[in-house]
Structure 1
Amino acid sequence: MNAVSLLCDIIGQAGKVAAQAYRDDARYGALLDAGLLQGDGLVQSVLCESCDVPHDAEIVFEGGSYGYFCPDLGLVSVERADLVAVRPDLAALVEHLHAAFECQPGGISQLGPQTWRVGLVDTPGGRAVVYFHTCLQTDDDLVSLGNALRAEIRRDYVLVVSAAGQLPYRDASICNLAEMVQVDLGAARLRKIVSVAEAVGAPPRPTGGRPSVYRERLHSLLADRVAQGVAEDGRNAEADAVLAAYVARFPHDPAPSRVTVQRSVSKFRTGS
């Protein structure tokens, strides 16, 4: 499983988390090796699950040891090692993304509390600017993104990569972090799964070859699902179903990326 999905989960918690909860997860070690997590002291509270009603409990230090108070059990001792906290190293993440997307030298900048400019990428259709914004789940997240990008120079394409949520933002392509990159375990770095050009829908470079086999096959699958009355209403849900159907029908061929399938769903539904 892609370790970046665990990183997205941790980023979505918007703060430091207890390392103890992830120590047995192989993905956690991969994130540490890549420098995408950093130590951050101790957690301030834990979830007490020892009594009849689980509850959040503040950590205290008494008598030379750590613990928390439970209404049913009194003072419950906790090992210091179980309280060690980590948080995402977002500056390191942006450096990784800059390299993975093969951005032009320089250009990295933090634009707001949740937003970083990752860099510029040349695509066949023009320049794309890539941003990382921690979460796009609420209206407040969109306001934060808008404030950060207000003074930015417009480019031919805009890609916003987010760890959680994909709320639409004007004139930008929105992609989930785990769909764009994965951890290269051998090199302890991120590598792209989907190119920036593909994510923003830039036209492919002319090759003189035959039309995309993906386009033909996906169109056929989409048409079949409509005819059978099983097409999902939501674009993302339909894309997931079509991708699964593609893999089942063509098990020995490379599968298209989820972004490619999403774009095919949109084009099929608009007749473009």
Structure 2
Amino acid sequence: MNAVSLLCDIIGQAGKVAARAYRDDARFGALLDAGLLEDDGLVQSVLCENCDLPHDAEIKFEFGSYGHFCPDLGLVPVERADLVAVRPNLAALVEHLHAAFECPPGGISQLGPQTWRVGLVDTPGGRAVVHFHTCLRTDDDLVSLGNALRAEIRRDYALVVTAAGHLPFRDAATYPLATMVQMDLGAACLRKIVSVAEAVGAPPRPTGGRPSVYRERFHELLAERAAQVVAEKGRNEEAKAALLEYRRRYPHETTPSLSTVKAYVSEFRGG
């Protein structure tokens, strides 16, 4: 599963979480390596499961050790390592998105408690401004986003990428983070799997024809396969597999020839 899905789950909890809950998940290590999670002291409470009715129990530090109080067992010791907390590094996430969407240098700015401007992207239909907003699950989230964007300069298109929820917003297209990007485990960075142009519904580029569309889509598809470690070693085998996947994703569209896809594979791999 995409490591970004785990990041979205953690962001959706709106605070720090216990690292122990994710230690056995390989995606957790990938997020740490990419700097998308950061240490944040210790958790303040744990779930006590020693009682007939599990309950949230406050952590106490007494006589040189940590523990929590259980009505049935009294003070239950807890190892400090099990209390270590992490939280999403949202500033780092915005930097990753800025690079993944190939925005020009500069332009990153925090606009509100939950809102960042990621940068500008040129699309076939004009310039798009990309924002990140943590959650779009409630009316309050929409109000917070609206307040943050009030002073922003209007562009041809606007996109808001969000980690949790997907409520529509009147002034911009909204898109889920986990659908927009994925983790490149080898490079410890994010890669786009949907272009900004596609997310905002920009019209096709008027010149260049279908080959440019094919090239962009196949490069994204090949990057996704490489990140998921499913790419074939041989160029011909990878081209065949990528072409089958392309036809599955776009069943109602024409497809390029196998020789063209082989060329895309060679171009993507730098050879």
Per the alignment, residue 200 of structure 1 pairs with: 200
Query: 1:177-207 deviations in whole A, cap 9, x for unaligned?
Result: 0000111011100010100001000011133
Deviation at 1:208, TM superposition (A): 3.6
Distance 2:91 2:244 in 1: 39
Q: How does 1:61-100 map to 2 (within 5 A)?
A: 61-100=61-100
The residue that corresponds to 2:148 in the other structure is 148
User: Pairwise mapping of residues 251-266 of structure 1 onto structure 2 (< 5 A)?
Assistant: 252-254=244-246, 255-256=248-249
Instruction: Quote the offset at 1:51 in angstroms.
Output: 1.2
**Backbone CA RMSD of aligned residues:** 1.8
Aligned equivalents of 2:9, 2:195: Cα separation in 1: 23
1:144 CA drift (Å):
0.5
Q: Per-residue displacement from partner, 1:64-83 (whole Å, max 9, x unpaired)?
A: 11001111221111000000
Question: 2 CA distance for matches of 1:163 and 1:50?
Answer: 34
Once the two structures are superposed, what CA deviation does each residue of 1:206-242 show, in whole Å capped at 9, x if it has no partner? Answer: 33449x99xxxxxxxxxxxxxxxxxxxxxxxxxxxxx
1:153, distance to aligned residue in structure 2 (A): 0.5
- Aligned residue for 1:111, secondary structure, equals strand
> 1:253 Cα shift?
3.6
Distance 1:208 1:7 in 2: 37
Match of 2:16 in 1: 16
Distance 2:2 2:245 in 1: 21
Q: Which residue of 1 aligns with 2:134?
A: 134
Deviation for aligned residue 1:5? 0.2
Provide the secondary structure at the position in 1 that maps to 2:112. coil
C-alpha distance in 2 between matches for 1:63 and 1:42: 18
Q: 1:45 to 1:209 in 2, by over 3 A?
A: closer
- Counterpart for residue 35 of structure 1: 35
CA–CA distance in structure 1, aligned partners of residues 168 and 115 of structure 2:
16
Unaligned runs of 5+ in 1: 214-250, 258-272
Cα-to-partner distance string for 1:52-104 (whole Å, 9 max, x where unaligned):
10111110001111001111221111000000000000000000000000112
Separation in structure 2 between the aligned mates of residue 170 and residue 105 of structure 1, nearest angstrom:
28
1: CA distance, partners of 2:94 / 2:50: 40
Partner letter of residue 252 of structure 1? L
Instruction: Give the 3 Å change call, closer, same or farther, for CA 10–253 of structure 1 in structure 2.
Output: closer
User: Are 1:49 and 2:49 counterparts?
Assistant: yes
Q: Could you report, residue by residue, the CA deviation over 1:19-64 in whole angstroms, capped at 9, with x for unpaired residues?
A: 0000000000100110100000000001111211011111000111
Q: TM-score, normalised by structure 2?
A: 0.78
Give aligned pairs, total. 220
| Residues 1:59 and 2:59 aligned together | yes
Moved over 4 A (4+): none
Partner of residue 7, structure 1: 7
Aligned partner of residue 174 in structure 2, secondary structure = strand
Distance in 2 (alpha carbons) for counterparts of 1:18 and 1:73? 23
Amino acid at match of 1:160: V
Aligned AA (2:159): L
CA distance in 2, matches of 1:40, 1:102: 30
1:86 corresponds to which letter in structure 2?
V
* Cα distance in 1 between the residues matched to 2:141 and 2:121: 25
Q: What is the rounded CA distance, in whole Å, between the counterparts of 1:50 and 1:69 in structure 2?
A: 10
Residue 108 of structure 2 corresponds to: 108
Structure 2 gaps of 5+ residues are 215-242, 251-271
Q: TM-score, normalised by structure 1?
A: 0.78
| Secondary structure of residue in 1 paired with 2:82 | helix
| Secondary structure of the structure 1 residue equivalent to 2:86 | strand
